[in-house]
Each structure stands twice: as structure tokens, then as C-alpha cells.
Amino acid sequence: MIFNEIFSSYYRVTAAILREAARGNLTERKLYSMVRDQAFGESILSLPEELRSARWHLLDQNLVTPLKEIPELPLTVLEKKWLKTLLSDPRIRLFSPDVTGLEDVEPLFSPEDIVYYDRYADGDDCEDSGYIENFRTVLRSLRNRENLEVVYESRHHETGTIFITPFYLEYSEKDDRFRLIGAGHKRRFTLNVAQIKSCRILTDWETAPFREMVRKSVTFELRDRRNALERVLLHFSHLEKETRKIGDDHYVVTLKYDQEDEIEMVVRILSFGPFIRVTEPESFIELIRERLKKQMVLSNTWRRNMQQTGNDGV
């Protein structure tokens, strides 16, 4: 499996140990320390002795390696193609990744080959030159812990200037948007990067203390019909969660999320229809009721309009 998170760790730690041995820097203490820090807990029981076994011929009992060259782990052609595929995503290119060694590699597929059926179509234009410039300025301020002066256009098309201390960037898969989270003027801000008209880094301004983000949770029962459990766990894979089985196809799932994402959570949970029944908290259940009432009003209004249009012969 490409970049396997379990098996590749053994290759990485073995290569690191052999590099130390080839340089003559490997000691008994360092060997066990590297296995403990870079592999898994149980690896320390077997890996050091396996490396020194006559079967592997990688280290002798004195921690000397017969290798004459420093070991490397070059990427396979398939791994390079997979990396080139990821790096062709305009969202990843915003972070200016190093593409050295991949210049002449063909990707496995292009971003245009992927069809997204569960997210909005008006996401961030990550290839716009102004957007890229603003994003990288924000990124630099985060990395260097610098403050920003942001000219921002609100959803009501009003433009104003905000002085903000950035804390982190977040990405909404549903909206396909990057958001900047920060604080200033004794309040917390969540700014869509696409709505930043311009920004510059400040060096002589300090913001008010940041108010911690409010964390909330929602619990629902799930019937595993039509592969519902797998779809739910995949859909909410980025959230902290707890899942308990209480029947043959009956589960209880608790998700933790940021308060600012509550409306989005309501919409996403409703998208699973009758397979999910929210049990707590009551405040979240009330939000679902309100959302369904609004949808009923809109549906009835649309139905009446269609009937009137039909009666008019249009």
C-alpha cells in the first residue's frame, strides 16, 4: 500500500538506524531510543535483536553495519506519481510545497477527474493571483506569529479594516473554503480568505487576549442500512468522535465540533435522512426542528407557485 502508515514506519526507523551505524554513531542506548520514538511500543521487543541477527545481515552484535554507503529510501515511480497527483491540487499548491525531483513525473490523474457531489460549487478560487498572494501573506503571519491588517469585504458587501492576530487556518470540505481564525478588538474573528481584499503584516501592534473557541457535541443513533455507518464515519472523519455498538446494526455516535460550525453540522446530519436520529442535546434537536420547518415553508411556497404557474397556462 502506498505510504502505508504502519508498515512504512519499520522501513523508516531501520533506515535511520543504519544511517547512524554507517556514520559510526550508533550506540545501544541510541538504538533502543530510536526504535521507541520512531516505531511502535511493541517493536522494542523484537526489532533491535532482529537487526543484529545473522539472518538479516544489517548489524552485528557490536552495532557495526556491513553497509558501505549511507542507506536511502528512494521513492518508487508509483509513489512519485501519487505525490505529483496530490501536488497538482491548487489548494496544496497554496502552501508552496517542494516539488524537487517530480518535474518530469506524470500524475496518476488530474483534479478535474474527481466529481464532488456533496459540496458547494462556489468554493475558493485557489488559482486567482490575488487570492494566492493574500493566502501566503496570512500563512507567513501564522508561521512567524505576526499580526495582520486585513481589508475585508463582509457578506453584505461592506468593506472595512480589521487588525487581527491570526491563530490558525481551517478548511471546510463542505464549502470548499479556507477560513482564518484569529482575535482582535476584544473579539474573535472567523474570516473567509476569499473575502480578504488585501492584507499586510504588522510588527508594532498587539491584539486583545483571545477568547477560547467553544466546543460542543451532538449524539445520535444510527441504523447501519445502505452502508450508513461507513458513510457517516468517512463524512465526519476530521472530527473527534466516539462510536458505540448497541445492537446488530444499531450504533450511538457522539461528534465534537466548534460552535461556529453548528449550522453546518445541522445541514450535514440532516443529509443522512432517516438513518440518523439525534438524541442530544435538546438545543441541537431544536435547531433541526427549526431547519425542517423552514424547509417545509419553502417547499409549500414553491408548490403553490408551481400550481399558480400551471393554472396560468405558463
Residue position matching grid coordinates 468554493: 123
The yes-or-no verdict on residue 314 having pLDDT over 50 is: no
Which pLDDT value is given to residue 209? Answer: 47
- Over residues 160-203, the pLDDT tens digits come to 998 998 999 999 888 899 999 988 877 788 899 999 999 999 87
Residue position matching grid coordinates 491570526: 166
Which pLDDT value is given to residue 187? Answer: 78
Residue position matching grid coordinates 432517516: 274
Compute the distance between CA of residue 130 and CA of residue 186 in angstroms, rounded to an integer.
Answer: 29
Q: What percent of the chain has pLDDT over 70?
A: 92
> CA separation (Å) from 233 to 79, 236, 269?
27, 5, 12
Structure letter (DSSP) for residue 167: E
Which pLDDT value is given to residue 189? Answer: 86
pTM above 0.85, yes or no: no
Q: How many CA atoms lie within 13 A of 136 on its CB side?
A: 14
The yes-or-no verdict on residue 210 having pLDDT over 50 is: no
Cell numbers for 243, please give them.
Answer: 462510536
- Over residues 21-40, the pLDDT tens digits come to 988 889 989 988 888 888 77
Which pLDDT value is given to residue 213? Answer: 61
- Over residues 218-267, the pLDDT tens digits come to 999 988 888 888 888 888 877 888 888 888 889 999 999 888 788 888 98
Which pLDDT value is given to residue 3? Answer: 63
Answer whether 205's CB lies under 8 Å from 144's CB.
no
Contact residues for 183 (Cβ-Cβ < 8 A; gap 6+): 164, 165, 167, 189, 207, 208, 209, 210, 211
Q: Which segment of 47-56, 86-95, 169-178 scores lowest on mean pLDDT?
A: 47-56
Which pLDDT value is given to residue 183? Answer: 86
- Which helix (DSSP H) or strand (DSSP E) does residue 151 occupy? strand 147-153
Answer whether 269's CB lies under 8 Å from 288's CB.
yes
